[in-house]
Amino acid sequence: MSPPTGVALWQHFTDLPDPRVERSRLHKLLDILALTICAVLAGADNWAEVERYGRRKYDWLKTFLALPNGIPSHDTIGRVFAVLDPAAFQRCFLSWVGAVAEASDGRIVAIDGKTLRRSFDTAAGRGALHLVSAWATENQLLLGQQAVDAKSNEITAIPELLRILDVTGAIVTIDAMGCQKEIATQIHQAGGAYVLALKENHEKLYHEVAQLFVDGLEDDFAGLEHRYHHTRDTNHGRTEDRHYHVVAVPDGLRAKHPGWEGLRSLGMVFSERQVGTAEATCETRFYLSSLPPKVKQFARAVRGHWGIENGLHWILDVSFREDDSRLRKDHGPENFALVRRLAASLLKNETTATSGVASKRKEAGWDNGYLLQVLAAVPK
């Protein structure tokens, strides 16, 4: 059967290897994938809900899916996703990303991890699944994900994720876990720039950078190439001031801490947040960067990194209830997580509706025409 008019998504999954024994294939793999993607967009959060959606929408789904033996059971859907190769599934997803998203210079690629809290399997001795994701802030689009066993393994997962990404001309932002010389080198040699959060896991370097900014604030950054930028955000009774400082890396500090390939600037962000009449809270963060000491570019990168929390992780928790998911079998949790992230990308890029993602999912469940609009959404 042909995909709905304007929906080119399916064609990128037609070559996905089917892991099932051929004689047991009562349902086409592409039908199961398309059904699941439609159902998740329309509000389904588990295999049983995918089946229920399929039964309610059978007549409409039949207009573009083969469904030779009707709607598969939730057990069948779950078994297929449990044995589906996550790497092959992601390659198909990345084929779609490459077709719809233009890789522009200066784009922000934010990398961060998230744990699926209820995906642990005590009986099988398996901990909760942790995923490291790459998110294109401006495009509101997942660029890839890498599964790890625990958050402490992000150091090994990030290089694996970077290998499947094209970061040429991009600004890659990573939190303190990914602030490693090897990762900085990998990004730099791949043609990207980096902004890495620096914390006390690099104790000596952290304290020297912190002291450099303390001294600079006291003597007006004498002898240093320095830039400053201030922003104020006011919303719903909350005011947040952010003070951005950037300096070129001093030769003495570079000599004491070799191995940070491409390192050109150091950044500091001091933020002060006031909510109503409550006491103000303050936070200071430091960064290593291969960007030149241009403070507005640095500020854009730092704010862009927060986009993965607000634009992806928060939505997965609130609109997709990911932390409540109890999927645990084999590759099922990782593959379903990719479907959620694909759905989040599509819903974020559908702009005819001004409501939030949760409301858009309801609309997609109610209105088949709107669901087709979401499926055809093209990242900005």
- The strand pair at 193-198 and 171-174 is best described as parallel
Indicate whether 244 and 114 sit together in one domain. yes
Indicate whether 227 and 215 sit together in one domain. yes
Q: What is the pLDDT of residues 287-342, one digit of tens each?
A: 999 999 999 999 999 999 987 887 788 888 888 887 767 666 778 888 999 999 99
Q: What is the pLDDT of residues 241-282, one digit of tens each?
A: 999 999 999 999 999 999 999 999 999 999 998 887 777 899
Give the model's pLDDT for residue 7: 66
Indicate whether 189 and 237 sit together in one domain. yes
Tell me whether residue 66 is in a domain. Answer: yes
Indicate whether 71 and 195 sit together in one domain. no
Indicate whether 90 and 209 sit together in one domain. no
Indicate whether 108 and 213 sit together in one domain. yes
Tell me whether residue 325 is in a domain. Answer: no
Give the model's pLDDT for residue 98: 80
The residue segments making up the domain with residue 95 are 10-99+350-375
Tell me whether residue 339 is in a domain. Answer: no
Query: Percent helix, strand and coil across the chain, each rounded to 5?
Result: 45, 20, 35
Tell me whether residue 112 is in a domain. Answer: yes
Indicate whether 82 and 119 sit together in one domain. no
Domains held by the chain: number: 2
Give the model's pLDDT for residue 162: 95
Residue 310 is classified by DSSP as: I
Indicate whether 234 and 280 sit together in one domain. yes
- State which of 317, 339, 358 marks the end of a domain: 317
Tell me whether residue 4 is in a domain. Answer: no
Indicate whether 91 and 173 sit together in one domain. no
pTM: 0.87
Tell me whether residue 31 is in a domain. Answer: yes
Share of the chain above pLDDT 90, in %: 61
C-alpha span between 301 and 303 (Å, rounded)? 6
Long-range CB pairs of 131-135, under 8 A, 24+ apart, other chains included: 131/334, 131/337, 132/157, 132/158, 132/161, 133/308, 133/312, 133/341, 134/109, 134/110, 134/161, 134/165, 135/109, 135/110, 135/111, 135/307, 135/308, 135/311, 135/312
Tell me whether residue 326 is in a domain. Answer: no
Indicate whether 151 and 209 sit together in one domain. yes
Indicate whether 226 and 151 sit together in one domain. yes
- State which of 317, 340, 359 marks the end of a domain: 317
Tell me whether residue 3 is in a domain. Answer: no
Indicate whether 112 and 221 sit together in one domain. yes
Q: Which stretches of the chain score pLDDT less than 50?
A: 120, 122, 125-126, 151
